Structure 1
Amino acid sequence: MSLHVWLCLFRLRQEGKDGKEMSQTLYDLFQEDVEKRVYDAGVKVRVSKWLKELETYFYGSVMAYDKGQFLLCTGVTLRYHLAVSYVRRELASLNMTDSKAVLNGNLKFSRDY
């Protein structure tokens, strides 16, 4: 899920002020979903610690994606190459997506990895 949130946030950067506002809304909804999933998983103690750790993992992943580290690693498995191809294809698709569709949250990701 973090990867797809990042893909959306990455595309929203191209939309100026409106994109920034939508990015914040998306991130807030993502955090609410993460919190719900933690509770649904039965975590009852130290929830704030869990949520803080998950947020740290998310930011670490996003920073790596932003720096292109996800796309530049070598000596990795076929599964990794499939993931890189998927990310590149989705970024290209998002870049071709109309601004109105992006700002309305009308996005679709392909299902084949």
Structure 2
Amino acid sequence: MFRSKPISLALPPGSPQRINEPNYKGIHSFILRLMLFYSKQSTSIRAANVIYRRVVSQVENPLVYEVFRLEKAFRTTFSILVVHMWLCLRRLKVEGTEGVELGQYVYEIFNHDLEIRVSKAGVNLLLFKWMRELEKVFYGNIIAYDTAMLLDAKPDELHNAIWKNVFSDDGSPTFDAAALPAVLAFSRYVRRECTCLSLTDKESMFSGNFMFTNIYNPNTPG
């Protein structure tokens, strides 16, 4: 799985899944400009929301858990969220300061969503402490994935990081042999998405008009 040639993830112009900026005219446009609707900050926040919705759409796809044999629990969902956030932030960073600034808006939306998810999981007391711990995990994972993608990284460094951060229940570096095929498949998926995103144009990334690779179960009949 995930051995096919990487392609751009940009949505074509006529795709019903595209989300475009509203093009108001006349008095509506005048009022919105007075309200700073078209300011750089407002435009960036809207784009960041679309980008994050693309992330969540992929992470909440039941097939992600089915294909990679993962239990749908808070920890697993958080780990997969981090992977896809890293993929987006990594791609945006390539565009320099402008991309980093947009990535910061995406991260702030992620943090807000994460706080809601933590509360829904039943954590109401010591919420701030939980968020601080998850922030440490987030940045720890990001560093591990960035390191694994360096040119001089060891061949097994990425799937070791994925095993530890996504598949292992306790962060143990020791592999579960039964999980190895799923870990390797997830590693191929991550590498392929990195390349696909690198082929995705700036406009599509900055507007959120891209979709992660469609995941399907090859064992499903038909």
TM-score (norm 2): 0.48
**Do structure 1's residue 70 and structure 2's residue 158 form an aligned pair?**
yes
Aligned to 1:16: 96
Q: Quote the Cα distance in structure 2 between the aligned partners of 1:29 and 1:2.
A: 13
Q: Deviations over 1:3-58 (max 9, x none)?
A: 00000000001111210111100110111111010111121111111111111111
Report the alpha carbon displacement of residue 64 of structure 1 after superposing the two structures with TM.
0.2
> Structure 1: how far apart are the matches of 2:96 and 2:209?
18
| Aligned counterpart in structure 2 of residue 107 of structure 1, from 210, 216, 219 | 210
The within-5 A match list for 1:43-62 is 43-62=123-142
1:6·1:62 contact (CA, 8 Å) conserved in 2?
A: yes
Match of 2:112 among 23, 32, 55: 32
| Distance in structure 2 (CA, Å) of the matches to 1:48 and 1:72 | 30
CA positional deviation for 1:71: 4.8
Cα shift at 1:107:
2.4
| TM-score, structure 1 as length reference | 0.90
Larger % of helix: which?
1
Which 5+ residue runs of structure 2 have no aligned equivalent? 1-80, 149-156, 162-174, 217-222
Alpha-carbon contact 2:91-2:198 (below 8 Å) kept: yes
Tell me the number of residue pairs that the alignment of Structure 1 and Structure 2 aligns: 112
Aligned 8 A contact 1:18 1:103 in 2: no
Structure 2 vs 1, CA of residues 36 and 72 (structure 1 numbering), >3 Å: closer, same or farther? closer
Q: Distance in 1 between matches of 2:160 and 2:126?
A: 37
The answer for the alignment partner of 2:87 in structure 1 is: 7
2:65 match: none
The residue type equivalent to 1:12 in the other structure is: L
Letter in 2 for 1:29: I
**Tell me, what secondary structure is at the counterpart of 2:211?**
coil
Q: Which amino acid aligns with 1:70?
A: L
Name the residue aligned to 1:80. 183
Give the whole-Å Cα distance in 1 for the aligned partners of 2:82 and 2:160: 19
Q: Give 1:106 deviation, angstroms.
A: 1.9
Name 1:90's counterpart in structure 2: 193
For 1:9, give the aligned amino acid.
Answer: L
Give identity over the alignment, percent: 39
Q: Give 1 or 2 for the bigger CA radius of gyration.
A: 2
Q: Which has the higher contact order (CA 8 A, sep 6+)?
A: 2
Unaligned runs of 5+ in 1: none
